[in-house]
Amino acid sequence: MKKAQIESKVFIYALLAIVVVLILIFGFKTITNIGEKNRQVISIKFEKDFKSELLTDFGSVKRGTFELPPGTKYVCFIDLNKRDELLTSAIFEPFLKKYPLMKDSIESGTQLNAFAIREDVTASFYGGDICFDYPYFLCVETPRNILDVWFEGRAACTTIRAATPVYNLSNGSSTRNDNRYPPNGIFIIPDKTKTLEDNWRDISRLVTLSIQNDADGELKKYPYLVYYDTSSFDNEDIIYALDRYDMDTAVVFAPLTSGSTTINGKTYNIESESMDSYFDYWVDFNSVVLLGYDDRNAAVITSLFASYLNIPLIFVNEDNLPQLAAMINNKIVYIINKENMDENVIQYAETNAKNGEVVYYYEYDLRFNNELNPFRELSSQIDIP
């Protein structure tokens, strides 16, 4: 073959390659543009449809379901009359840190009060006169790019509420280990650890051991006591508490000496226990509640939620996940305050939960649900020597 012909073919092949690359680039840009235009169309329709659903008649209620742009993870609504409260809110702080565009909008005084979020805010608009009681906002997860909410007329404004039911006891059952609950006994725990650190995690988990829904949905409470004078916390203090409350046995979650003491013909039993045996208080359970290891603000209300479901509460981060993984595997997982949870914990739960079933709630979902009121009442009945 002649040299000129070879060079000509090389030139043609190179030209064809360039044309193919240009077509691919053009096609990719075209598809991207089409996708972006599709998102814009859906966003505009969402804004229009949402505003049309707002209510003003006091007490009126209706449900709205809206399609969202692909990839939308959350939609957040805020009460514009509560900007200052939101910017200093401990509950709202994780959202402000993770989504700076929303924070900038609130700080700058814009009238935007509805935010669609992927990695950050992708669409925002004024959704009308939206108002909330404390904590003055609502962020709703949007699986399958669908927002499902209730509208409640408040005369001068509309309150938005998540349509997803907060509690579902039909997910399964759990059985307590009755052998761990001595008759005529009481659980006792000091408010500080041996190193004088606040003992809030163990106290919160003790609530889940003490207060529970039984198999028939009946609310039960095993007596418990938080001991606040730990300067001289010893067996004599425990015996005093037993005598005061006419109990026979104290299960003490602290490193004391176990044993029995008879005084004036009455025998008092002290059993030193460790929270390492926490899961032994269940014969079986198919669900767990996860809370960020340092999420102290949500600890009490989350413990009541776990008591409601009659399942264990786990304080978890990336450091203690390996020790707790077996308790998460093949369980239905409830995660509270996702924004305060280590990302690898979330990924582990989503990968290893039973049928991939992970349910997300926020602290405020729990605080303002009346179903937990009986548990609040019982948990407040803590005797303090």
This prediction's pTM: 0.62
For the record, the structure tokens of 24 come out as 């691919």
What is the phi/psi pair of residue 227, to 5°? -95, 115
The residue type at 252: V
Reduced to 3 states, what is the DSSP secondary structure of residue 38?
helix
CA distances from 373 to 18, 87, 242, 367, 370 (A): 70, 29, 29, 9, 5
Give the closest residue to 363 by CA, choosing from 105, 148, 91: 91
Estimate the crossing angle of helix 321-328 against helix 343-352, to 10 degrees. Answer: 30
Strand order in the sheet with 185-190: 224-227, 185-190, 249-252, 266-272, 259-263
Residue 198, pLDDT score: 81
Bond prior to 135 in cis (omega within 30° of 0): yes
Reduced to 3 states, what is the DSSP secondary structure of residue 251?
strand
Residue 217, pLDDT score: 64
Residue 380, pLDDT score: 56
Reduced to 3 states, what is the DSSP secondary structure of residue 367?
helix
DSSP for 252-300, written as a single string:
ESSS---EEEEETTEEEEEEE--GGGGGGGEEEESEEEEEETT-GGGHH
Residue 170, pLDDT score: 39
Question: Residue 80: CB partners within 8 Å, gap ≥ 6?
Answer: 111, 113, 130
- The answer for 128, left when phi > 0, alpha when psi is -120 to 50, beta otherwise, is left
Q: What are the residue ranges in the chain where pLDDT is below 70?
A: 1-36, 56, 163-173, 193-196, 214-217, 229-233, 368-371, 373, 376-385
